Amino acid sequence: MRARVSITRFVIPLVAFALIAVVFAVGIKHSPEVGTIVSPLVGKPAPEWELPLLDDVTRRIGSKDFRGQWYVLNVWGTWCFACRQEHNALLELQRTSAVPIVGIDWRDDDAQAREWLARLGNPYAHVAVDHDGHAAIEWGVYGAPETFLVNPAGIVVHKQIGPMTAEVWRRDFASRLPPPRRASS
C-alpha cells in the first residue's frame, strides 16, 4: 500500500518531469539561434535570377550563366557593417578557393559600391546589382550578409547567415565541395 502511494506521489511526476525535460532539451539543441530563419531553399533548386552587372549595367548575369558549375552567392551592401567584417575573409577565399564568388550588391548605391570594391579589394568574380530587392526576396534574404553555396545542378547546398569566416568556410562550405582538384576542372 505504501509502495502504491509513492508511485503516484513521486514516480509518476518524476517520469513526467523527465519526459518534459527531454522534449525541451531536444528542442533547445535543435532550434536555430533566436531570430534565425532556416532557409527552406537548402536542398532545393536555386531561384532563377538575372540582374545587371555593377561594372556595366547594360549587361546582365544570372543563374543560367552558372549551370554546371559550383558557385558561391554572397549578398552584401556598403551599408552593411557585417559585410565589412567578412570582406577580408572573402578576399582570402578568392585567393585560395577555386569556386567563384558571385556578389549581389543589395539595395545599394552603385557608385558607393564601386568605390568600396576599389578601396578594399574585389573578392568577386562578378557583382550583380539588386536595387529594388526583388532578387533578394527570391533568395529568401532578410539581412546582409548572407552566403549561399550552389552546386552544378543548380541546387542550393548550404546557406550561411551572417559574416563568412575561415572557420565557417572550412566547416560548412569546403566540406560540401568536391576535393579541390575536381572543383577546378
- Asked if residue 53 binds another protein (CB under 8 A), the reply is no
**Is omega for the bond preceding 123 within 30 degrees of 0, making it cis?**
no
- In the bound state with another protein, the residue whose beta carbon lies nearer, of 41 and 53, is 41
Beta strand 50-52 with 60-62 is: antiparallel
**What burial class does residue 75 get, using C-beta atoms within 10 Å of its C-beta: 0-12 exposed, 13-18 middle, 19+ buried?**
buried
CB of 177 to another protein, least distance (A): 25
| C-alpha span between 165 and 168 (Å, rounded) | 5
Minimum gap (Å) between residue 41 Cβ and another protein: 7
Which residue's CB is nearer to another protein, number 52 or number 143? 143
- 33 belongs to the binding site for another protein (CB under 8 A): no
Of 52, 100, 140, 162, the residue at the interface with another protein (CB under 8 A) is 140
Helix and strand numbers (H, E) in the chain are: 7, 7
Residue 41 touching another protein (CB under 8 A)? yes
Q: Is 39 an interacting residue with respect to another protein (CB under 8 A)?
A: yes
The H-assigned helical ranges of 8-161 are 12-30, 81-96, 110-120, 134-138
Which residues, 6+ apart, have CB-to-CB distance to 57 below 8 Å? 110, 129
| Shortest spacing between CB 23 and another protein, in angstroms | 10
Q: Which of 53, 82, 84, 142 binds another protein (CB under 8 A)?
A: 142
What residue has cell string 527531454?
A: 22
- Describe the chain by its helix, strand, coil percentages, rounded to 5: 45, 20, 35
Which of 139, 148, 169, 173: binder of another protein (CB under 8 A)? 139
**For another protein, the closer CB: 24 or 121:** 24
Q: Using the rule CB under 8 A, is 134 a contact of another protein?
A: yes
* Per CB under 8 A, 153 contacts another protein: no
Interface with another protein includes 97 (CB under 8 A)? no
Sites of contact with another protein (CB under 8 A): 1, 35, 37-41, 47, 107, 132-134, 136-140, 142-143
